[in-house]
Amino acid sequence: MGLSTAINRSSCWSSLTRHKKPPLTSPSTQNPRGPAQNFCDREALFSSYCFESVKAEKESNSLNDVDHSQVLDFPGGKVAFTTEMRFISESPAERAHCYQVLDNDGQLIICSKFKEVSEEIAVKMYSDMVTLQTMDAVFYEAQRQGRISFYATTIGEEAINIASAAALTIDDLVFPQYREPGVLLWRGFTLQEFANQCFGNKADKGKGRQMPIHYGSNKHNYFTVAATIATQLPHAVGAAYSLKMDRRNACVITYFGDGGSSEGDFHAALNFAAVREVPVIFFCRNNGWAISTPTSDQFRSDGVVVRGLGYGIRSIRVDGNDALAIYSAVHAAREMAISEQRPVLIEALTYRVGHHSTSDDSTKYRPVDEIEWWRLARDPVARFRKWIERNGWWCSEAEIELRDSVRKQLLHAIQVAEKVEKSPLAELFMDVYDVPPSNLCEQEKLLRETIRRHPQDYPSDLPV
């Protein structure tokens, strides 16, 4: 697929569906650059999405009007009989629409309804997106230079990271996957703290026990990242139940990818959340790729958003490269989650512009043109910049100054982190339990004797 072809097709998601048969949507509904009326419809669809399930409940209650002989009173509500043997289709007549506020050029779409963002917030959102982008570039390079062992970028998903974080409060709990460091950045985790984690030094809150990018911060209500996929989803539900029991004015957000939606924990979590009616936002970053596996090898459903209906969860699909749409959707989801004590599912359509990680070369399994198209034509950072510039909130001078300053801060953070020594050996045995049991004390003693005999076998930058 050539770059121009992709743009001409102008479907935001065309490349994600290229392994499938031609899309079910008609060309007119697919064209997000269409007439204004089209976007008004989109708006209407957004609202209907939000309240569809409420309407459905009411409709089912009104089945009283139906002839009782044709209705089965069944657990969950009344079910109407029909003489028609009709199987429910495996797919809807058209794919679930995607909520968008800013077009690819950063223009506010006419009639779009969104949550207002103040200049201060908008500028912070943009600055943090740029900071995230720069951090990725600098840390990626640091890995390539052999200074850190591993890294994974969030390139292409900066808006998802920052805009979703901006729509929440610090009291809302985060159960991340591993491609949402921007949420932590938004909450005030410093560049030095990011660097400390990646270098696994003594200042790393995780004490150097996990690979780079496995951030966590109690202070920022950001639960420590694990490399396991989707296991955090049921945790988010349990934590949300605790918030519910404590009647807290807060919710939980948990992030995962399109690949994660295939895990058992995804299904478990959505079902538990619906049944226990907890304030949790399931945020799916559908970026098209689970390492090398395209979504066409991942599922046959219309993405992830449609799963919500199966579990009785209100859902919305948003443009994952549109910061304003994400901000608005998460803001609305948070309101519903807390005020109505219910889970909400958000599927953001985006693209993993970077490789899966520094251990991956994605050009081996996907066309460079496709990557470039998403990187250039759909860059969420550039799109948001155009919007704040049009508002007169940003200018080229500010841009140069920001990028320069962030880069300097990052290089400094790396230099500092590199020099900080590692956590002492005793930390190897701490925190397995609240206090080390006798077997660990014994093993520590034996290990220390071995180190005394063979000090050359062990790293010198780790105090014993």
In terms of Cβ atoms closer than 10 Å to its own Cβ (0-12, 13-18, 19+), residue 397 is exposed
Tokens of 20: 């499938």
Told to check if 255 binds another protein by CB under 8 A, we report: no
Say which residue the tokens 């339990």 belong to.
Answer: 433
Active-site hit among 33, 365, 412, 458: 365
Element (H, E) at 282: strand 280-286
Binding-site string for another protein from residue 343 to residue 372, where x marks contact by CB under 8 A and - marks none:
------------------------------
Q: How many residues does the chain have?
A: 464
User: Would you say 210 or 293 has its CB closer to another protein?
Assistant: 210
Q: Does 310 bind another protein (CB under 8 A)?
A: no
Which amino acid, residue 300?
Answer: R
Q: Write the interaction track for another protein spanning residues 434-463; mark x where CB under 8 A is met and - where it is not.
A: x--xxxx-----------------------
Indicate whether 202 belongs to the interface with another protein (CB under 8 A): no
Calpha distance 384→322 (Å, rounded): 7
Question: Residue 118: how many CA atoms within 13 Å on its side-chain side?
Answer: 5
Is 220 known to be catalytic? no
Q: How far is the CB of 244 from another protein (least distance, A)?
A: 8
CB of 407 to another protein, least distance (A): 29
In the complex, least distance from residue 103 CB atom to another protein, rounded to whole angstroms: 39
Which CB atom, from 206 or from 380, has the smaller least distance to another protein? Answer: 206
Give the orientation angle of helix 119-144 with respect to helix 158-166, to 10 degrees: 140
Active site annotation includes 458: no
Residue 136 corresponds to which tokens in the numbers above? 């990725």
Looking at beta carbons only, is 207 or 407 nearer to another protein?
207
User: Which of 152, 240, 304, 305 lies at the binding interface for another protein (CB under 8 A)?
Assistant: 240
Is 218 an interacting residue with respect to another protein (CB under 8 A)? yes
242 binds another protein (CB under 8 A): yes
Angle among Cα 157, 160, 161 to the nearest 5 degrees reads: 90
CB nearer to another protein: give 106 or 216: 216
- Residue 425 interacting with another protein (CB under 8 A): no
| Active-site annotation holds for 352 | yes
Q: Which residue has the tokens 């569906």?
A: 17
Count, residues near another protein per rule CB under 8 A = 46
Show the tokens assigned to 406: 């962030």
223 binds another protein per the rule CB under 8 A: yes
- Contact between 270 and 282 under an 8 Å Cβ cutoff? The reply is yes
Q: At what angle do helices 380-390 and 323-339 cross, to 10 degrees?
A: 90
Question: Smallest gap, in angstroms, from Cβ of residue 368 to another protein?
Answer: 35
Minimum distance between the CB of residue 253 and another protein, rounded to whole angstroms?
13
State whether the Cα torsion 23-26-29-33 is positive or negative. Answer: positive
Q: Is the Cβ–Cβ distance between 371 and 340 less than 8 Å?
A: no
3-state secondary structure of 172: coil
Q: Does 61 bind another protein (CB under 8 A)?
A: no
Stretch that binds another protein, among 120-128, 131-139, 364-372, 425-433 (CB under 8 A): 425-433
Among 101, 168, 183, 237, binds another protein (CB under 8 A): 237
Q: How far apart are CA 7 and CA 158, in angstroms?
A: 21
Q: Measuring CA to CA, which residue among 410, 322, 334 is closest to residue 107?
A: 322
- Give the Cβ contact number of residue 62 at 10 Å: 10
Judged by CB under 8 A, does residue 432 bind another protein? yes
**Rounded Cα distance, 411 and 67, in Å:** 74
Q: Specify the residue, 217 or 328, whose C-beta has the smaller distance to another protein.
A: 217
Residue 75 makes contact with another protein by CB under 8 A = no
Task: By CB under 8 A, name the binding residues for another protein.
Answer: 175, 204-207, 209-210, 214, 216-218, 223-224, 226, 228, 231, 233-243, 245, 264-265, 267-269, 271-272, 275-276, 430-434, 437-440
* Residue positions annotated with a catalytic role: 352, 356, 365
